[in-house]
Amino acid sequence: MNILEKMYSLDPSYHYGMITANAFNKEHWDFLHRKVSLSFVCFEWSLLEADIIEYLQSKGILVFAFTNKNIYILRYMNKFKLNGIVSNLKIR
């Protein structure tokens, strides 16, 4: 987080986000969003939680997931209301 804060302090006009394979609770996301006005979060697919996705989107934060490697992961990702999916495969 320290790097993100430093970057934000240099130029808050950029859109900053976070790519993570960590699970955080709502309080942690609030803390991060207060420190750095997050534009997006990209979660590792196995960490997707509907309530966290909805919460972040209610704050105006776009939510993405990574990495779709097969049809089974894609089916799982599609159960959530994501703004986008990072994929190694062509999605039809």
Tens-place pLDDT, residues 45-67 = 999 999 999 999 999 999 999 99
pLDDT range class, residue 2, cuts 50, 70, 90: confident
Please give the DSSP secondary-structure letter assigned to residue 63.
E
Superfamily name and number for 2-7+14-87? Phosphatidylinositol (PI) phosphodiesterase (3.20.20.190)
Rounded to two decimals, the pTM is 0.89
Domain spans of the chain? Answer: 2-7+14-87
Mean pLDDT of 26-40: 91
What integer is the mean pLDDT of 17-30?
A: 94
pLDDT of res. 1: 57
Listed in sequence order, the DSSP H helices in the chain are 2-10, 26-35, 50-58, 71-77
Note the maximum CA span of the chain.
41
pLDDT band at 79 (very low <50, low <70, confident <90, very high): very high
